[in-house]
Structure 1
């Protein structure tokens, strides 16, 4: 197993750094949230950080609300490719937060002659071909958010010296989001009464999140516990197929699917159990949010999830696609109060200690300094 952790620790001479964060996705998912957390954290330390993104997307709006400057780039590849070289010349370092941004930076690098790094957040292998080989060779550094991703890229052919691991982080929730009043308000909005157990999932409705397995697990659990309801917060290309599966399984009353909810992580404390059923997952930062909210977690062992959910220590873990095992794990967390309390307490302590935004920002600062000192 290849392993290289980026060292933490502040370094001197960083105040003059000016970083451009490139993220031209049109949606708001975990990667966009991590982009904003990092940029805002850097600015809080006096480091120049600007986000280059689509002007009509949620990242631009949320960045401005957080006090992070935004530079608009077109959503189409041609327009973004033309705009990036002019924009990049104003900065010391370009940080690409998406695969598409990585490709754009590699294509246009001769036009701005500044170093760039790329954060890799997905666990599927890049396609074979000269351009993908070129773009990984061109990046000054590839940051992997999990050891699983780093191992995948090493096996694919990325040179170990070009990679390091800096894991995603989350802020601890505001105390007001953990109160009984907030919990009751969220459950009321969902139509969930005080005597009902609520199991929640927050994820895009796409293939690798595998909510099809989750629905089968829900069917098995509800057959044993009639007082349980599920909510799946998210939207995506498989919404129609999942609604049809829900209907076929006769789960229309038991499984709520209200769609995408902005800042859905603020609803976590209303859940009795958080479940994630992904067959592939770069890391699964929403699990960190569940840990931080003190919600016990049942998960499949997809991608980087086992780096967070250590079976019997910070949650319960089952094989990918094992709907019966997932149903059993959720049932245990609902019925074994001492187990659920032990796991959620250990997970919350761990995320507060090991996955703080401050630690992530510190690790990136160390990396930026190393790249700019070359």
Structure 2
């Protein structure tokens, strides 16, 4: 069936995505979304993941082709490499896209010993961390046919920390379906009502969208809000997200306890993760990114597409996504005074908030659309086969 589809349209051919993760965060969500987008564009796409994983569940819900695989011996799992080759051959896979760094070893093993004709692409989602110029990583990366890096800065990091051939490296921003954020089709009042937010008429609602995790900065925002409300009692904060998977609820409970200690119960609003984040963005006046080190801030981009002024910590990939004074305001990590100053600028100069939001929406739509990610990826894939 896949061969017939490909022969009917020679511009497309069967591809598989490999992500053996049992978590459900940005990487996993983006893997499934990307597969679905490519399918909508006519590509035969298969997802290979762990049995019973959240990825497998979501893949099934979307009725995408699914294959499951376990590799208990990780990168040295020769039997698993053989099973992977069988799954790829069964789908007539021409290109395997690996979205999780931890699966590269298995994919390279499969290509090297089972399917030398296979084209192998790594879709980068995380920073590299330490340098990877040793023999093992050099041989592993040499087996790659293409490396897709989501930001220019991350691509420069790859050049600095690996021996990957420069011609294999491509900048392909991870895409988002931005239209639903830019044109939600409902008002701020309707969004707040749907979230059960009944705020005073003069309320200014700031929001941090993302799982409860110390690295996301909810605790920092609560402390800063306590001081800000001494002067700006109209400020409220919305947190939308669940605890980090497999890490318990201790951090979220600690944040909520601190809210009570500071007397902020009526000003801090917590809602669970939603499959309709556009509702949360529409309810906001200001979006906050307070992460310690966000590799690629999807929620920041979503907020920009929604036309919100963004106040963000000057760390990680956020430094490339948000241009200070143009598409948002940056503050040094965990600097409460600088954060408060940025928020007060937006409160005192409404024209600034409007200008930042408009410019942010324009840049987000031009750079981070899922259509653009798919087009750039297709251009790379077609050079490989």
Coarse TM-score class (shorter-chain normalised): 0.7 to 0.9
Contact in 2 for aligned 1:26/1:75 (Cα 8 Å): no
1:15-67 per-residue CA deviation (whole Å, 9 max, x = no partner) reads 34111011222233222332233222222222211222234333334334444
Contact in 2 for aligned 1:282/1:304 (Cα 8 Å): yes
1:191-214 per-residue CA deviation (whole Å, 9 max, x = no partner) reads 545543221112233454344433
Q: Which range moves more in the overlay, 148-157 or 216-225?
A: 216-225
In the aligned structure 1, how far is the partner of 2:184 from the partner of 2:151? 31
In the aligned structure 2, how far is the partner of 1:192 from the partner of 1:75? 51
Give unmatched runs, 5+ long, in structure 2: 1-8
Aligned with residue 210 of structure 2, among 184, 199, 203:
203
SS at structure 1 position matched to 2:236 = strand
Residue matched to 1:135: 140
Contact in 2 for aligned 1:300/1:321 (Cα 8 Å): yes
- Larger-gyration structure (1/2): 2
- Displacement, 1:344? 0.8
Residue matched to 1:123: 127
- The 5-angstrom pairing of residues 272-311 of structure 1 reads 272-311=285-324
Q: Which range moves more in the overlay, 82-91 or 314-323?
A: 82-91
In the aligned structure 2, how far is the partner of 1:313 from the partner of 1:275? 16
Q: Which range moves more in the overlay, 285-294 or 226-235?
A: 226-235
TM-score w.r.t. the length of structure 1 is 0.85
Give unmatched runs, 5+ long, in structure 1: 1-12
Aligned with residue 166 of structure 1, among 151, 165, 172:
172
In the aligned structure 1, how far is the partner of 2:301 from the partner of 2:240? 16
- Displacement, 1:247? 2.9
Contact in 2 for aligned 1:145/1:282 (Cα 8 Å): no
* Higher RCO, 1 vs 2 (CA within 8 Å, ≥6 residues apart): 1
Residue matched to 1:111: 114
- Report the RMSD for the aligned CA atoms in angstroms: 2.7
Contact in 1 for aligned 2:213/2:252 (Cα 8 Å): no
Contact in 1 for aligned 2:218/2:255 (Cα 8 Å): no
Contact in 2 for aligned 1:220/1:324 (Cα 8 Å): no
Contact in 1 for aligned 2:85/2:110 (Cα 8 Å): yes
1:113-156 per-residue CA deviation (whole Å, 9 max, x = no partner) reads 31211111112414656543433232222211112212222221
1:241 aligns with 2:251: yes
- The 5-angstrom pairing of residues 63-142 of structure 1 reads 63-74=59-70, 77=74, 81=81, 83-89=83-89, 90-109=92-111, 110-113=113-116, 114-126=118-130, 130-142=135-147
Residue matched to 1:45: 41
- The 5-angstrom pairing of residues 186-225 of structure 1 reads 186-188=194-196, 190=197, 192-225=199-232
TM-score w.r.t. the length of structure 2 is 0.83
Contact in 2 for aligned 1:215/1:246 (Cα 8 Å): no
